[in-house]
Amino acid sequence: MSSAFPEIHLVRHGETEWSLSGRHTGRSDIPLTANGEEAARKLAARLEGLSVSAVWSSPSQRARNTCRLAGCDTDAVIKPDLAEWDYGAYEGITTKEILAGRPGWQLFRDGCPNGETVADVGARADRMIAELRQANTPILIFSSSHFLRVLAARWLGLPAQDGSRFILDTTSISILGYEHDLTEPVIRRWNQR
């Protein structure tokens, strides 16, 4: 079902070695795997017919290459605020490894030492939402899981911590939009594979 109001399409990047193994991939610039590249190419058919006014991408190569392989990079604008969570000391390690040294740790509550807090990521998401609402036009975004989850929570007016309640698979498509008017933000679709 289409909407009379602008829709924001979110695409999580394709598979990387680290996303496959569950390693936290924030600012490390990890390339797509062959499977990730193939899935990104298949996005072109899934996005066919989509009419947007702008394409925005995270600065990471995994997001930019997903955008390129999907055929959407012609006029893509790199937005630094779309970068994945800065995991600081937890970059490149798994949640299981973190929990072994810090039982009970939760990313969306505790953040990362020498990295970003959930408030930091929420502030970046709020800046992006302000830009999206000011643009008031359909936009396609390529980014990473944890950032997009916080973006969705903040889109709905929920605390950034509630991003923990959303899951995103690689090369999934989600849609943010509105219901009756621009004062009623909703999630129109989530984690579509």
d(CA 7, CA 183): 14
Structure tokens at 138: 């359909």
**Helix (H) or strand (E) run with residue 69 in it:** helix 61-69
Annotated catalytic residue, options 7, 84, 91, 116: 84
Contact between 120 and 34 (Cβ < 8 Å): no
| Catalytic residue (choose from 13, 15, 91, 146) | 13
- Whether 84 is a known active-site residue: answer yes
162 Cβ contact list (under 8 Å, min separation 6): 108, 153, 156
Q: Please identify every residue annotated as catalytic.
A: 13, 84
